[in-house]
Structure 1
Amino acid sequence: MIFQGSVRYPVDEIVIHCAATHPDWMRGQPLTAKRKEIDRWHREERGWRKIGYHHLIDRDGAILPGRAETEIGAGVEGHNRGVIHICLIGGAGSAATDPFERNFTAAQDRALRGLIDAIRAETAITRITGHNDHAAKACPGFVVRNWINRA
C-alpha cells in the first residue's frame, strides 16, 4: 500500500493530466529537461514548492518520476490526498471529449496502461479519473473512462 504525507493518506486514485504542450514541444530534449521546465512552471507560475505530478510520460512512452508517490501531489485543487497524478506530454488545444489518439501517441497509451498496472500492483486503486472529472477543464484531453474501457 502507498501512503502519502505525514498523516499517511492511503493512495486509492490515479488522476490523469496533460501538459497542454504541442507535439513538437522541446523536441530533441530529454524528458529530464521537460520535467525541469514543468517544475519551473509549477514553482514560478503557480507558487508550488515543486512539480505537482508524480509521473510524466513523454511522446515516445518514456516515463520519469516527478514528486515521490509518498508525497501529496498538486494536480487538482482540493483533491490531492491519496491521489497519484500522471501527466502526459502533449494535449495542446485538446477538448475534454477528444479520442486519446488525437492528442497522444500509441507509445504513451502503452506506457500509461503499464504505469497504471504497476501502481495497482503496489496499492488498492479504486478510481482512475481525468482532471476534467474534477474541474471544468479539457485536461487531459480525452474521457478517461472511455479510454480505459477500450483496452
Structure 2
Amino acid sequence: MTKEWNTLIEPNFAQDIGLDFAETLVPLKDIQYLAIHHTESQGMDALEAHRFHREARKWAGIGYNYFIEEDGAIIKGRGCYVGAHVYRYNRVSLGIALSGDFDSHYPTEAQMESARKLCLFFMKQCNLQSSQIIGHREFPDVSKSCPGRNFDMDGFRNWIEQTRLVNR
C-alpha cells in the first residue's frame, strides 16, 4: 500500500535551486515505483537537464523528481509533483536521475550513496519494497539501456535491502 503525497514531506537533505516550470505541476498521489535514470551525458548538471528538457523536449522543465550530481549533491527537480521520465508511469513513479553516462562510465561512490539515501527515504514514506526500485530499462516497452549497462540494478536493490535489514 502506498501513501499519497499530501501526507509526505520533501527530504530536507535535497537542495532546492529554485527551478521554474513552464506550467503548473500536478501533485503525485500514488507512488508505486522509484525509477532510476542516468543522463546519458557526462558532466550534465541539474540546470543543464532542466534547460534541455524545456528547450529540446518542450516539457515544462526537468522531467526528474530528483537529480543527483556527480559529487553526490541531491537536487530537487519536480519534487513531489508528477514527472516526465517514464512513459505511462509518471503518475505512479518518482524519477531519480544520476548525472553521467553509465554505458561508458560508472556512477561515483557519492552518487550511489545519495541514491541509496533518497530511495530509503521514499521507501519508508511510501511503504515500498526494494523490488519497487526499477531501472528505466526495466519498465515495459522500454528499449533504452537507462540507467546504463554499468549500473547494476540488482546489486543496488540488494544493497538497499541489506541496509534496511541492518537498520530495523
TM range (shorter): 0.7 to 0.9
Q: Of residues 102, 118, 121 in structure 2, which corresponds to 1:115? A: 118
Q: Of residues 101, 106, 109 in structure 1, which corresponds to 2:109? A: 106
Corresponding residue of 2:146: 139
Question: Do 2:34 and 2:95's aligned partners in 1 also have CA atoms closer than 8 Å?
Answer: yes
Corresponding residue of 2:59: 48
Which TM-score applies when normalising by structure 2?
0.71
Cα drift, residue 143 of structure 1: 3.9
Q: Of residues 8, 13, 36 in structure 2, which corresponds to 1:16? A: 36
1:77-114 per-residue CA deviation (whole Å, 9 max, x = no partner) reads 1111121100001125x07xxxxxx5111111111111
Question: Do 2:46 and 2:69's aligned partners in 1 also have CA atoms closer than 8 Å?
Answer: no
Cα drift, residue 60 of structure 1: 1.4
Corresponding residue of 1:84: 94
Question: Do 1:53 and 1:75's aligned partners in 2 also have CA atoms closer than 8 Å?
Answer: yes
User: Which of the two has greater strand per residue?
Assistant: 1
Asked if 1:64 corresponds to 2:72, the answer is no
Distance 2:69 2:145 in 1: 19
Distance 1:124 1:45 in 2: 35
Distance 2:145 2:38 in 1: 9
Question: Do 1:9 and 1:82's aligned partners in 2 also have CA atoms closer than 8 Å?
Answer: yes
Secondary structure at 2:94's aligned position in 1? strand
Corresponding residue of 1:74: 84
Question: Do 2:34 and 2:133's aligned partners in 1 also have CA atoms closer than 8 Å?
Answer: yes
Cα drift, residue 40 of structure 1: 1.0
Distance 1:73 1:114 in 2: 20
Structure 1: unaligned runs, 5 residues or longer: 27-33, 96-101
Which structure has the higher relative contact order (CA within 8 Å, separation 6+)? 1
> What letter matches 1:64 in structure 2?
I
Question: Do 1:17 and 1:139's aligned partners in 2 also have CA atoms closer than 8 Å?
Answer: yes
Distance 2:135 2:29 in 1: 20
